[in-house]
Structure formats: structure tokens, C-alpha cells
Amino acid sequence: MTRFRNIESLGPLEGTRVLLRADLNVPMTVNEDGERIVTDNTRILSVAPTIKALSEQGARVIILSHFGRPQGVRNPELSLEPLGQPLANILKLPVSYVDDCIGDEVVAITEAMEDGAVLLLENVRFYKEETKNDPDFAEQLARNADFFVNDAFSCCHRAHASTVGVAEILQSAAGLALEKELDALEKALGSPKHPVAALVGGAKVSTKLDVLTHLVEKVDHLIIGGGMANTFLAAQGIDVGSSLCEHELSGTVVSILENATLNDCKIHLPTDVVVAKEFAANSASRTININEVQSDEMILDVGPDTVKSISADLEGCKTLIWNGPMGAFEIEPFDAATVALAVKAAELTEKGQLISVAGGGDTVAALNHAGVAAKFSHVSTAGGAFLEWMEGKNLPGVSVLLADRRLSL
């Protein structure tokens, strides 16, 4: 049993109504016929096992989700109705839909459902009370069900009515995907096997300051790549030419470096880099030592010597947490370091030497580009929630599942 309440802890579910918080905020496009269609069904696939498990136990499954940012206003372009069919196709079960998420009519429908049936409610953010975690609104949501199950890790960093308010009212539990996610995160940063390496890349230090500050206190190796490495290099007096660089943060990064020394965290910065004068496909690039960047050149990837040295360090590690690409991976050849290190981490994971957990939107795209996402121990598709977890913050949607002490473990 995990530290979090799971579906099993709710007891027999036959004939009960379970309100399931899913994240159906999936990428969609409008086709030639003006229909909204799903372009990436990853999030539907992720919640499907929980829906099936609940339905197979005879629960009536009532799915609650947000879509986009309707700002508390009903907006047909952000309706969840078009998600019903894709859900039904994946579940191989009929999915009915109701055009609201609260009210007497919705309650009556949930009460009349057959055991095992699946109902999709309308976008919870059509009510401004949702994002304010309004207690009356949470009460209204709770009227739809006997139990609450949250399976949307990507929404757990928000204290909304559909993540926290309703969980405080109904007996609540983590769904299968959330439970798996929390177990993986616990293994990576909660009580990991040491040595632990964190690989943090991406564009800017400013967006990941809290991540870096927290990680130096937790991990044995902090490997810094991407645009943010430039700010660290510049703070150490290295000329980074016309690279993306936040010079104004040099004092901040120096204190991160000092804190790392105090905490026995080894910081790894690039020793060689790939530079170009333009950020464009097939622009002329060269691989140079970090001290040779010319004023009109941009650092767009870490170099092969750095990759070799990081790979050797990873051989000695037991756990890896990864967020952010090592270079501007969207354009070749600046994807080379990200791909090489992703392949290395995947190999070590396959050999059973490394627990590898990666997360964040661009990181998932980078691992997919490298073709190794499936070989990592765990890949989180959550953006904000994954970063807040890397910052060491308590996620309110998770804490509420821990705090609910009304059921005995």
C-alpha cells in the first residue's frame, strides 16, 4: 500500500457513484467539417485503465475534467462533448455525456446510471468557482457521487474545487495513473537510491530557479545543460558570445553554486559546445571548447566531450531525474547531446542499473524524438505539477489524498 489512498482503500464499489477527476485537456484541432478532433490521445490512454477498473468493479463512473481556460464562462469551443467518442473508442465502452457538471438534473442522471456505466460531465471550468476552490461549488460537485478518485497528476499543483475541495468532502483516493506517478516520483526524489543525478536543461534559469535551488540540496550530481548553462558559464567569467543568457542572474547562480558545494552536490557544466551564428536548420555549426565562443556565435548544444563525461558519471548513478533538453533539440544538429544522453539513460535503465524519471512538456518531446521515452522507468507528461514537485513543493491535490484520515489504512 502506498502512502496515498488508492482505489482499493475505498472498499467495494459495486453500485456506488465515483466522481473521477481526469485531465482531458488534450490537444485538439478543427477538421474540414468543422468538428473538433483529438490530435494526441496520451492523456485519454493514461486515465483509461482507472475508468475500466472502476467500471469492472460495478461503479458508475462520472468523469470530471477541465478543458482550456474558459475563465468561468460557458464556451462551446471548449466543450468536452467531442471527447466522449474518443473515450468510448479507447475504453470499448459506451460513454454518455451531460452538458453540465452540477445541478439537480446531473445528480438525477448519476442516480439513474446503471452499474458500470460511464458518464462524461461538461467542462468544470465553465464555472468561475472551480479555480477559486469555492466550498459551495465543491459541495455541488460532491452531490454527484459517493466517492472521489483523482487520476490527474497534471492538475494536482492547483487547489481547485475539482482537485481539493471535493476531495475534502467525499472519501477520496488516487487513481491508478496517479498512484503509479506518485510511486515513481517517490523513488526518484522522496527516498531515492544514491547516487542521484539530476539533469536540468531548457531555455532559462529564471523559470527553473526553485528547481535548481531545491535539487542542490537533494542530489549528488546536478548536470546543467541547455540555454541555462550559459548563465552559469557567464557567471564564471566565460564569454558566451550572443548565446541566450540571463546575465542579470549571475549573483543568483553563484549562490546556487556555493550552496551546491555546501551540500556535496557536484555541478556539471559543459566543457565543449556546439555553436552557430543563426538558430536555423542546417546553419553552419562548429564544435569548440567552451573558451572559444566568438562574439557573434550562439551556444546551441553541449559538445561530445561533455556528453562523454556525463555518460561516464551516469554509469555510476542509481537514479536520474531529467527535466529540459540539453540543447535546442528541435533543430538538427543541435539535438545530438539530448539524443545521446537520452539513449544512454535508456540503456542503463534497461540493464537495471538506473531508475530514470523524466518529465515536463519539452522533455517528453525530446525523449520521443530520441525514440526512448518508453524505456525510461517513468515519464511524466505533467508540466507545471512535475516542476513544482522538482521544486520540493507540496502539491495540494496530492496532500489532500494523504490527509484524508477518515478511512483506516
Question: What are the residues binding ligand AMP (CB under 6 A)?
Answer: 201-203, 207, 226-227, 244, 299-300, 324-325, 327-328, 330, 360, 362
Give yes or no for a cis peptide into 82 (omega within 30° of 0): no
With beta carbons less than 8 A apart as the criterion, state whether 116 and 124 touch: no
369 exposure class (CB count in 10 Å sphere: 0-12, 13-18, 19+): middle
Distance of alpha carbon 380 from alpha carbon 393, whole angstroms? 17
Measured distance CA(281)–CA(300) in Å, rounded: 12
Catalytic residue annotation: 43, 204, 361, 384
**Can you spell out the DSSP letters for 158-190?**
S--IIIIIHHHHSEEEE-HHHHHHHHHHIIIII
Classified as helix, coil or strand, 355 is strand
CA dist 243 and 120 (Å) reads: 48
- Grid coordinates 485537456 are at which residue? 25
Chain centroid to CA 382: 2
| Cβ–Cβ < 8 Å for 390, 215 | yes
